[in-house]
Homo-oligomer: A and B are copies of this chain.
Amino acid sequence: MKLRYSPRSPFARKVLVVAYIHGLTNRIELVATPLSPVAGNDELARENPLMKVPSLVTDDGEVLFDSPVICEYLDALAGGDKLFPPPGPGRLRALRQQALADGILDAIILCAYELSQRPADKRWPAWIEGQMRKAHQGLAAIEREEMSGALTIGPIATGCMLGYLDLRFPDDGWRRRHPRLAAWYEAFQQRPSMAATKPPAD
């Protein structure tokens, strides 16, 4: 398999964590793929028209995206019904937790684009505030989530999201606001799969 990724993409990290847990890492060729929301990438576009990472080419030549689809595929390769539980309340909880973490990431990434890529005179403070409100309300909701129990894609997505938040907004102060989540993450980030996929500092 061939995985297009970027070292700081939290969505690509989810895939790398799932691959690590399932012992699939050595079956995946990693292709670092530089990205910008305005510049595009012709090489990536030939595989994934949305020009996003992660993007996986399977051994059958099929292209898969986005990260939930790739992660479910890798889980199925490992026998299925592991990090994506079988239909029922456990699956719903895992998928809802993943959607919440991924949605917070979407908001944070839009803020990061606005602050780092958009020309300064075209930034719109109300947009940044609106997206950050989504992210902060999402974090407050996770503080109330049950993260223990069998490992699923929910906590994995949450851990990757928090790693990205620390990378891009190190002064956010979420640990002070959400001590229960901070304690969970402190332990979770020490898992081998998380330690092996930690993004490099900027």
* B129 contacts A38, C-beta separation under 8 Å: yes
Chain B contacts of A130 at CB under 8 A?
36-40
Chain B contacts of A168 at CB under 8 A?
none
Distance between Cα atoms of A159 and B95 in the complex (Å): 24
Distance between Cα atoms of A104 and B87 in the complex (Å): 28
Copies in the complex: 2
Chain B contacts of A49 at CB under 8 A?
100, 134, 137-138, 140-141
Q: How large is the interface on A (under 10, 10 to 19, 20 to 34, 35 or more residues)?
A: 35 or more
A52 at the interface (CB under 8 A from B): yes
1/0 per residue A95-114: CB within 8 Å of B? 11001100110010000000
Distance between Cα atoms of A37 and B124 in the complex (Å): 12
* A65 contacts B96, C-beta separation under 8 Å: yes
Chain B contacts of A183 at CB under 8 A?
none
Q: A122-B122, A123-B122 are in contact. Are A66 and B99 (CB under 8 A)?
A: yes
* A124 contacts B118, C-beta separation under 8 Å: yes
Majority-rule SS of A interface residues: helix
A151 at the interface (CB under 8 A from B): no
* B137 contacts A99, C-beta separation under 8 Å: no
Chain B contacts of A129 at CB under 8 A?
38
Chain B contacts of A80 at CB under 8 A?
87
* B95 contacts A50, C-beta separation under 8 Å: no
**Contacting chain B: which of A19-27, A68-76, A172-180, A186-194?**
A68-76
* Interchain Cβ contacts under 8 Å between A and B, 12 examples: A36-B130, A37-B131, A38-B126, A38-B127, A39-B130, A49-B138, A49-B141, A62-B92, A63-B96, A69-B92, A69-B99, A118-B124
